[in-house]
Amino acid sequence: AQKITQTQPGMFVQEKEAVTLDCTYDTSDPSYGLFWYKQPSSGEMIFLIYQGSYDQQNATEGRYSLNFQKARKSANLVISASQLGDSAMYFCAMRDYTGTASKLTFGTGTRLQVTL
């Protein structure tokens, strides 16, 4: 069974600083995908970034980058130059490519608070 672990229930970061949100995963499948989502207090889930298990380079999307260490089974999200609007819950998720549909398994999330 697949498992996602996010060990930081809450994090604080000062505006304009960089922050790393941790995510480790466990799977026996050689082919998988890792996703990060942001959930503001309003509730909607916003897709941020994707990393495939066979991708040679770490994914980047604007201020978001993914520190993918396959041997360690970790996929940490790095947010550079934090902004007040980055305050939200962040979820790491892994896609399962077996079966009839590509299901996602989610971690328990990290609440990020950006301070002045």
Partner 1 sequence: DVKVTQSSRYLVKRTGEKVFLECVQDMDHENMFWYRQDPGLGLRLIYFSYDVKMKEKGDIPEGYSVSREKKERFSLILESASTNQTSMYLCASSRTYYRNQPQHFGDGTRLSIL
Instruction: With beta carbons less than 8 A apart as the criterion, state whether 22 and 6 touch.
Output: yes
Helix, strand counts (H, E) of the chain: 0, 12
104 binds partner 1 (CB under 8 A): yes
70 binds partner 1 (CB under 8 A): no
**CA-CA distances (angstroms) from residue 55 to 58, 71, 90, 101?**
7, 13, 22, 22
56 binds partner 1 (CB under 8 A): no
- Binders of partner 1 in range 21-50 (CB under 8 A): 33, 35, 37, 42-45, 47, 50
Question: Quick one: 15 or 61, whose CB is closer to partner 1?
Answer: 61
Torsion of CA 47, 78, 6, 68, to 10 degrees: 90
Give the whole-angstrom CA distance, residue 27 versus residue 112.
Answer: 27
64 binds partner 1 (CB under 8 A): no
Stretch that binds partner 1, among 13-21, 60-68, 72-80, 96-104 (CB under 8 A): 96-104
Residues that bind partner 1 (CB under 8 A): 4, 6, 9, 33, 35, 37, 42-45, 47, 50, 52, 91, 93, 95, 97, 99-109
